[in-house]
A and B are shown apart, each in its own frame.
Chain A
Amino acid sequence: MKKEPIAIMEFLLLIALLLCLIPTGCKKEAEHKSAHTAQSPENEQSGSYFTIRVSPKWHPQTQFAGMYMAIKKGYYADHKLKVEVLPYTPIEQQLESIRTDKSDVVSMDLLQAIKLYHDHKELVNIGQTAQRNSVFLVGRKSRGIRSLNDFNGKRLGIWRSSSNLITKAYLQDYNIDVELVPIEWSINLFTQNVVDIINVMSYNEYHQILQAGIPEDDLFVISLDLPDYSIPDEGYYVKADFYRQHPKECRDFIKATMDGWTYAFTHPDETLDEIISIMQDAKIKVNRSHQIWMLKEMKKVVLANPALMGKLDVNDFDKANHLLKRTKTIGHDVKYEEFYPSAHK
């Protein structure tokens, strides 16, 4: 296995965090001029609103529709919350931001978050957006990728963050000898045939590949929504201290966000109009058909287990814990109740 560059980077960041751990003042006064903020006529006048600054894992898009619609429909305001969605930054900066109290909530993959907790006991889960895994491994039949064995000797574009752990575990379990090329977001390495296989999210990059003119019937696709690998990805995390101090606000934030998702799924047109407007304001590449696709796919992800909507399932957590231990990413189990303190609430 290749050396893990991400782990080194995170270690360096942790050192930097310890050195720079200087109080940055009241988080309610945080300024993010470009942030998307819950609007309430009372916000500016009343001091009773609790501000939560969210650092998302990506630029505004339908992947975060629950949050945006909760802002738009005033679900956060109903709980006396003022939510600011900060501009996207790479994961390292997100972590730096929350560690330095420039943000309160980050969205992250479960595996990545468990590993972080295992290493630093720093961030805890307050709610889970995704209830299933959305990773696809995609190759082109026309370039000879017609089965898993065809991966051998080829280049595979893989997330550079630790959200690639599922893919790595899968490849390891099947003894696939493939050159891993870390990628962040672009599918161009795949469309320009620099890599032969790429891992993508079903709700995002997979559709981007289709919109780049690669016919669906030319694609060989492996979905990792498989019994041993179906570990949900995106959830919301805060510092453990933050949760201890504001447990109600954290729970209210998740509840309002899930209400936002429910509204988004039942009002897709309005949701898409809102998201596209936000994306256009942020000067982000957007087309409606891609956002429609994303909303449909996110519905499968968020409502995979409707009874657990917004919650971290202990089985998923155990599965993730097990995979991380099996791949020797972590040395010991992380406790569910510690990692997800609102589990017993």
Chain B
Amino acid sequence: MPTSRSHSLAYQLISFVFVAMLLLFFGSTLLTRLIYKKIILDAQLQNMRHLAHERVHQLDGFMETVSTAAGISLELIYNQGVDHSAFEEHLRSTLISNPGIYSVCYLTHPEKGNKPVVYYYYRGKHHKNIISTDHYRFNDWYQIPTISGKALWIEPWYDIDGRGGQLVSYSLPIYQKGKSIGVLRYDVSLDYLRQLPSTCVVSDNLESFVVSSTGTLITFRDPELVMNHSLFSLAQDYDSDDLYNLGAAMINGEIGNMYISGDSPLGKQWIAYFPLVSNHWSVGVAIHKNDLMDTMRLILWIQVITSVLIFLSVTGIIYGRVVRVNKPLKSLANAAAKIGAGDFDASLPSLGQIHEINELTQSFASMQSSLKDYIQNLRITTEEKDKIRGDVIYASEIQTKLIPKNSEHPFNIKELRAYGILEPAGDIGGDLYDYFVIDENHFCFVIADVLGKGIVAAMSMAMISTFLPSIAPYHIRSSELLSKLNSFLCRNNIEDNFVTIFLGVLNIKTGELEYSNCGHVPLLIRKIDRRLMRYNETHSTALGVFDGITIDSSTIKLDVGDEIILYTDGITEAQNAQEEFLGMKGLEKIIGELRNPNPERNAKYILESVKSFAAGSSHQDDITLLLIDYKRPELMG
């Protein structure tokens, strides 16, 4: 039966596959991302480093051209001086053939009271000036080569004395006979430098920039930052350690790459950098991390879409197969429902291509056949049992009729009141009580317990209850009656059942009671003063086993108001829930609670008390009680 928590096979398979595929998908995506990120990043950074190197190579080539031209000029100065047409022609042709060279300046130191002289060349024009001030001496392009004695590239500067503009200069100290006589300066306009392919934006997502030896931005996509900012000032503005580290690496001439976090103009970008050889500049190539990961993102999207398509396909396939598998299963379920409703001939689905389903169908068919046979056998057995049950019920009725019907004065004998109860454990029992009149003075009563239960015991009981009245007119003593009964039972006993029995013959007139107890529980007599007399002696073993045994008897005289209490071991051996026996003490305790003699009331009280005691116990035995009270005639008022 489907429950609220149960789901279809298709649902379970698909959800299971979905979860499994989801885990696999995430795992594979993470792995792919990790691997591809490293591969793409490594490849892209290597490409960027190559690009930076290529640009450095181009820029160094340009710088080399300038420094070479400056070197030739220096040779001319050394060899011929500057005040002649050959030098001017050399500079004119140099400037024409090298459009990157913006201007050339040659400045002599003041000597022997002479003021310094400056020679300035610019695109075919030149002039020679005598300088009256000396502030030129404090420019980097003059001071640095003069003091260091080296030819070198100077940090970008603003030429307010020349034609203006931001320049990068290559300055050479000029010596004559070991003495510095001036400085030769070759200028390159930063504007020209920025237009060189090697300093421009590389592509849509790659861009290059150049920083000077102090980290100052020489070229950059944002012209506002050029010459105004160094990587270190940007690091301060944006509080970026990454930028500071990048600046330090670049001005220290390192080769490498670095990721810059944060929101600075270089933030969220990967930078590859390579130093120039000609000076301490460095070229950086930058790519935004999103652009860098475009390829990887595309791969991941393809993977996601592929995974979704695979999942949808697998889901469709699983659903189709499950529906196909479910069809015979549903037929089987329907057939099972019909069989459950009693239709054992319900048709089963025909065999298909699924081996397991075929096996299940065949097993089900076998079960159907077995079930059909079983039900048939069960029906026959049930019919037989019902028949036996009917017989038993009939026997029970007969047994009930064999015991005397309770009346206040049995056989209208005024001196006696008797009340008997027989409650078999099953439909029929093996206990017996009976009483009858032998003659006008003698009243015979008997209680017996046949070993076992059921039909055999009931038959033995029936035999006893019919045998005793039949011989009683000829044998008035209890011992004789029981001896005859023993012989009868030994002859006709079924399955060697033995019988415990108490039989008494009461002289109604005298109150004399002669009785024999053959293996039965003791006789109890409750006196009118409520004392309880117990007669333990037995007069033989149980009957029906040994023929010819001697059976004695005892005789007592009843007093007025004596109440004879006879019972079977179903009373004393009654068990409570703790499997404790009621015992003689328990019975005597119950009897002690009885009020005045009254067989019917007292018998019912004893029975209820015993049942109350045995409540909850699974043990059951036949229970039989017979109470008789006696009032001797001469004493009756």
Q: Interface residues, chain A, CB within 8 Å of chain B?
A: 5, 9, 90, 92-93, 155, 160, 181-186, 188-189, 191-192, 194-195, 210-213, 215, 285-290
Asked if A211 and B233 sit within 8 Å, CB to CB, the answer is yes
Complex: A191 Cα to B214 Cα, angstroms: 7
Given A90-B133, A186-B140, A188-B155, decide whether A210 and B147 contact each other with a Cβ distance below 8 A: no
Asked if A181 and B147 sit within 8 Å, CB to CB, the answer is yes
Asked if A9 and B134 sit within 8 Å, CB to CB, the answer is yes
Among A184, A188, A211, A213, chain B packs the most CB atoms within 10 A around the CB of: A213
Given A211-B215, A213-B247, A286-B228, 7 further pairs, Cβ under 8 A: A90-B133, A90-B135, A211-B232, A211-B236, A213-B230, A213-B251, A287-B229
Asked if B228 and A213 sit within 8 Å, CB to CB, the answer is no
Provide the main secondary structure of the chain B interface.
helix
Nearest Cβ on chain A to B223's Cβ, whole angstroms:
12
- Specify which of B152, B231, B233 is in contact with A290 (CB 8 Å cutoff): B233
Complex: A215 Cα to B244 Cα, angstroms: 10
Interface residues as binary, B211-250 with A (CB distance below 8 Å gives 1, 0 otherwise): 0011110000000000111111110110000001001100
Asked if B154 and A188 sit within 8 Å, CB to CB, the answer is yes
Asked if B134 and A287 sit within 8 Å, CB to CB, the answer is no
Nearest Cβ on chain A to B271's Cβ, whole angstroms:
15
Asked if B147 and A194 sit within 8 Å, CB to CB, the answer is yes
- Asked whether B143 is an interface residue with its Cβ less than 8 Å from the other chain, the reply is yes
Task: Please indicate the chain A residues that have their CB under 8 angstroms from the CB of B237 in the complex.
Answer: 287-289
Task: Please indicate the chain B residues that have their CB under 8 angstroms from the CB of A289 in the complex.
Answer: 233, 236-237
Nearest Cβ on chain A to B78's Cβ, whole angstroms:
24
- Asked whether B578 is an interface residue with its Cβ less than 8 Å from the other chain, the reply is no
The closest CB in chain B to the CB of A8 belongs to B134
Complex: A97 Cα to B144 Cα, angstroms: 30
- Asked whether B138 is an interface residue with its Cβ less than 8 Å from the other chain, the reply is yes
Task: Please indicate the chain A residues that have their CB under 8 angstroms from the CB of B85 in the complex.
Answer: none
Complex: A286 Cα to B227 Cα, angstroms: 8
- Asked whether B148 is an interface residue with its Cβ less than 8 Å from the other chain, the reply is yes
Task: Please indicate the chain B residues that have their CB under 8 angstroms from the CB of A290 in the complex.
Answer: 233
Task: Please indicate the chain B residues that have their CB under 8 angstroms from the CB of A186 in the complex.
Answer: 138-140, 143
Complex: A184 Cα to B136 Cα, angstroms: 10
Asked if B135 and A92 sit within 8 Å, CB to CB, the answer is yes
Given A90-B133, A213-B247, decide whether A181 and B231 contact each other with a Cβ distance below 8 A: no
Nearest Cβ on chain B to A141's Cβ, whole angstroms:
16
Asked if B140 and A189 sit within 8 Å, CB to CB, the answer is yes
- Specify which of A160, A194, A210, A212 is in contact with B148 (CB 8 Å cutoff): A194
Complex: A290 Cα to B237 Cα, angstroms: 9
Nearest Cβ on chain A to B468's Cβ, whole angstroms:
130
The closest CB in chain A to the CB of B247 belongs to A213
Asked if B232 and A210 sit within 8 Å, CB to CB, the answer is yes
Complex: A215 Cα to B237 Cα, angstroms: 16
Asked if B228 and A285 sit within 8 Å, CB to CB, the answer is yes
The closest CB in chain B to the CB of A13 belongs to B133
The closest CB in chain A to the CB of B134 belongs to A9
Given A211-B230, A213-B231, decide whether A194 and B144 contact each other with a Cβ distance below 8 A: yes
Interface residues as binary, B116-153 with A (CB distance below 8 Å gives 1, 0 otherwise): 00000000000000000111011110011001100010
Complex: A194 Cα to B145 Cα, angstroms: 9
Task: Please indicate the chain A residues that have their CB under 8 angstroms from the CB of B247 in the complex.
Answer: 213
Nearest Cβ on chain B to A164's Cβ, whole angstroms:
12
Task: Please indicate the chain A residues that have their CB under 8 angstroms from the CB of B230 in the complex.
Answer: 211-213, 287
Task: Please indicate the chain A residues that have their CB under 8 angstroms from the CB of B228 in the complex.
Answer: 285-287
Given A92-B135, A288-B237, decide whether A189 and B143 contact each other with a Cβ distance below 8 A: yes
Asked if B144 and A212 sit within 8 Å, CB to CB, the answer is no
For the complex of A and B, list the 7 residue pairs with the smallest distance between their C-beta atoms, beginning with the closest: A212-B214, A184-B138, A289-B236, A287-B233, A211-B233, A213-B215, A289-B237
The closest CB in chain B to the CB of A93 belongs to B133
Complex: A92 Cα to B147 Cα, angstroms: 24
30 example contacts (A-B, Cβ-Cβ < 8 A) are as follows: A90-B135, A160-B138, A182-B137, A182-B138, A183-B138, A186-B139, A188-B154, A188-B214, A189-B147, A191-B213, A192-B148, A192-B152, A192-B155, A194-B144, A194-B148, A211-B215, A211-B230, A212-B215, A212-B216, A212-B230, A212-B232, A213-B230, A213-B232, A213-B244, A285-B228, A287-B228, A287-B234, A287-B237, A289-B233, A290-B233
Complex: A115 Cα to B490 Cα, angstroms: 163
Task: Please indicate the chain B residues that have their CB under 8 angstroms from the CB of A5 in the complex.
Answer: 134
Asked if A285 and B144 sit within 8 Å, CB to CB, the answer is no
Complex: A160 Cα to B143 Cα, angstroms: 13
Complex: A195 Cα to B237 Cα, angstroms: 29
Complex: A283 Cα to B227 Cα, angstroms: 10
Complex: A289 Cα to B213 Cα, angstroms: 20
- Specify which of B133, B140, B233 is in contact with A92 (CB 8 Å cutoff): B133
Task: Please indicate the chain A residues that have their CB under 8 angstroms from the CB of B134 in the complex.
Answer: 5, 9
The closest CB in chain A to the CB of B226 belongs to A285
Asked if A155 and B147 sit within 8 Å, CB to CB, the answer is yes
Nearest Cβ on chain B to A15's Cβ, whole angstroms:
13
Task: Please indicate the chain A residues that have their CB under 8 angstroms from the CB of B234 in the complex.
Answer: 287
Asked if B214 and A213 sit within 8 Å, CB to CB, the answer is yes
Complex: A286 Cα to B230 Cα, angstroms: 10
Complex: A211 Cα to B251 Cα, angstroms: 12
Task: Please indicate the chain A residues that have their CB under 8 angstroms from the CB of B152 in the complex.
Answer: 192
Asked if B133 and A181 sit within 8 Å, CB to CB, the answer is no
The closest CB in chain A to the CB of B150 belongs to A194
Nearest Cβ on chain A to B180's Cβ, whole angstroms:
14
Complex: A188 Cα to B251 Cα, angstroms: 14
Interface residues as binary, B45-85 with A (CB distance below 8 Å gives 1, 0 otherwise): 00000000000000000000000000000000000000000
Nearest Cβ on chain B to A10's Cβ, whole angstroms:
12
Complex: A210 Cα to B237 Cα, angstroms: 13
Complex: A210 Cα to B231 Cα, angstroms: 11
Task: Please indicate the chain B residues that have their CB under 8 angstroms from the CB of A286 in the complex.
Answer: 228
Task: Please indicate the chain B residues that have their CB under 8 angstroms from the CB of A189 in the complex.
Answer: 140, 143-144, 147
Complex: A210 Cα to B251 Cα, angstroms: 13
Complex: A192 Cα to B140 Cα, angstroms: 10
Complex: A185 Cα to B143 Cα, angstroms: 12
Nearest Cβ on chain B to A38's Cβ, whole angstroms:
26
Complex: A289 Cα to B251 Cα, angstroms: 20
Among A93, A160, A194, chain B packs the most CB atoms within 10 A around the CB of: A194
Task: Please indicate the chain A residues that have their CB under 8 angstroms from the CB of B213 in the complex.
Answer: 191-192
Task: Please indicate the chain B residues that have their CB under 8 angstroms from the CB of A285 in the complex.
Answer: 227-228
Complex: A212 Cα to B251 Cα, angstroms: 9
Complex: A215 Cα to B232 Cα, angstroms: 10
Task: Please indicate the chain B residues that have their CB under 8 angstroms from the CB of A194 in the complex.
Answer: 143-144, 147-148
Complex: A188 Cα to B147 Cα, angstroms: 13
Asked if A181 and B143 sit within 8 Å, CB to CB, the answer is yes
Task: Please indicate the chain B residues that have their CB under 8 angstroms from the CB of A155 in the complex.
Answer: 147
Complex: A270 Cα to B528 Cα, angstroms: 129
Asked if B135 and A184 sit within 8 Å, CB to CB, the answer is yes
Complex: A288 Cα to B236 Cα, angstroms: 9
Task: Please indicate the chain B residues that have their CB under 8 angstroms from the CB of A288 in the complex.
Answer: 237
Complex: A286 Cα to B137 Cα, angstroms: 25
Task: Please indicate the chain B residues that have their CB under 8 angstroms from the CB of A188 in the complex.
Answer: 140, 144, 154-155, 214
Complex: A286 Cα to B143 Cα, angstroms: 24
Task: Please indicate the chain B residues that have their CB under 8 angstroms from the CB of A210 in the complex.
Answer: 232, 236
Complex: A195 Cα to B247 Cα, angstroms: 22
Given A188-B144, A189-B143, A287-B237, decide whether A213 and B138 contact each other with a Cβ distance below 8 A: no
Complex: A7 Cα to B227 Cα, angstroms: 35
